[in-house]
Amino acid sequence: MLIHDKYFFYCQGTDLIKGIKVDMTEVDSLQFCATAFEKMHKLRYINISFPKKMLWLKKLYANQGDSIFLPDELRFLRWDVYPFKSLSDFNPKNLVVLKLLHGNMEQLWNEDDDMNLTNLREIDVSYCKNLRKMHNLSGAINLELLRCIGCESLVELWNEDDYIWHLLMIY
C-alpha cells in the first residue's frame, strides 16, 4: 500500500479506516506529521514494517514534534523504525500488541502518565538504541511477553512499585 502525502494532510474520509498496513519494500522514504492519524477515530490496526535486509536502506521521518497522535481504539501497533521520541498523548487502554522495533524512542510514555494497560499482552521494543526508560508497567496485568533485546541505553525497566508477577517471558 502506497500512501499519498495529500491523504495524510487532508484526512478526507478517514473516519471509516480501521486498519493501515505499509510494506516499506516499495517505499524509499515516508514522512509523518504529528496529526497524520488524528481523524481516524476507528483505527484499530497499524502495521508499518520493513524487511530485515532492507531495514537500514529505508527512512521514516517525523516532520514535527516528539510524538504522534494515535487513536484510543488502537489494538495492534507495529511500527518498525518508529521516528518519534515517545508514545505520549496516547491512551493505550485497548492496545494488545505493541511492537516498535529499531525505534527512535527515548521512553514509551511519560513517567507521570497514569496508563491503562490492562489489555496489553506483548511489548517488543528490540533494538531501540535510544530507549532509556520503561516505567508504569504495573497496570499491564495481562502482559505475557516483554522483549527488549539490543536496547543499549535501557537503564530503567520498571520501578519497585510495579508488580508484574504475571509476566511469562522477558528477554
Domains of the chain are 1-171 (3.80.10.10)
Q: Is the per-residue pLDDT at 165 higher than 90?
A: no
Across 57-71, 105-119, 153-167, the highest mean pLDDT is recorded for 105-119
According to the model, what pLDDT value does residue 100 have?
94
Looking at the DSSP bridge assignments, the partners of residue 44 are: none
Q: Which three cell numbers stand for residue 167?
A: 509476566
Q: Which residue, among 84, 2, 93, 7, has the nearest Cα to 44 in the 3D structure?
A: 93
According to the model, what pLDDT value does residue 95 have?
96
According to the model, what pLDDT value does residue 122 have?
95
pLDDT tens-digit map of 59-100: 666 766 678 889 999 999 999 988 888 887 788 999 999 999
48, 22 contact by CB (below 8 A): yes
pTM for the model:
0.83
Higher pLDDT, 168 or 97: 97
- φ/ψ (deg, to 5) at 100: -130, 55
Q: Is the per-residue pLDDT at 104 higher than 60?
A: yes
Q: Is the per-residue pLDDT at 158 higher than 80?
A: no
pLDDT tens-digit map of 9-56: 444 447 788 999 988 877 777 787 778 888 888 999 999 888 776 655
According to the model, what pLDDT value does residue 6 have?
40
Identify the band that residue 170 occupies on the pLDDT scale cut at 50, 70 and 90: low
Rounded to whole angstroms, the Cα distance separating 125 from 151 reads 8
According to the model, what pLDDT value does residue 18 have?
92
93, 70 contact by CB (below 8 A): no
Q: What is the dihedral of CA 120, 123, 128, 133, to 10 degrees?
A: 60
Distance from chain centroid for Cα 75? 11
Rounded to whole angstroms, the Cα distance separating 10 from 35 reads 10
Rounded to whole angstroms, the Cα distance separating 66 from 51 reads 25
Q: Which three cell numbers stand for residue 92?
A: 493505550
Rounded to whole angstroms, the Cα distance separating 149 from 95 reads 21
Higher pLDDT, 18 or 8: 18
Provide the 10 A C-beta neighbour count for residue 13: 10
> CA 6 → CA 10, 52, 146, distances in Å?
6, 29, 37
Q: Which three cell numbers stand for residue 37?
A: 492519524
Q: Is the per-residue pLDDT at 2 higher than 50?
A: no
